[in-house]
Amino acid sequence: MTDELKAKTLKVEDLIEYQEGSVVSREIIRKDTGTVTIFAFDKGEGLSEHTAPFDAMVQIIDGKAEITISGNKNVLEKGDMIIMPANDPHALKALERYKMVLTMIRS
């Protein structure tokens, strides 16, 4: 985390910008115990199915996403959150441009 972010009130959606045809990420916190990363997905962009060894919480801060966990599709919009369990396959797709906060807790 850079000093510019510490101990200040921030608008999360302003910490990252959309880029046409891309997925953009910015790590906010990195500790041995976990990370907090913000992402911006352009419409139609996504992350293919994969697994992670830790539980992860996704919070949608703008737009609309489809998050598939173990084959179950979930549509999330601004203000929604979902927990992706450790080792369960998951994929993300932008139904429209969206921004999210990903919090991963190591155990």
Residue 68's DSSP bridge partners are 73, 91
Q: Is the pLDDT of residue 63 over 80?
A: yes
Mean pLDDT, the chain, whole residue set = 95
Q: What superfamily in CATH does domain 3-105 come from?
A: Jelly Rolls (2.60.120.10)
Handedness of CA 13, 19, 25, 28 (dihedral sign): negative
pLDDT for the residue 1: 56
Residue 15's DSSP bridge partners are none
- What is this structure's pTM? 0.92
When pLDDT is cut at 50, 70 and 90, the band that residue 106 belongs to is confident
**For 17-49, what is each residue's pLDDT tens digit?**
999 999 999 999 999 999 999 999 999 999 999
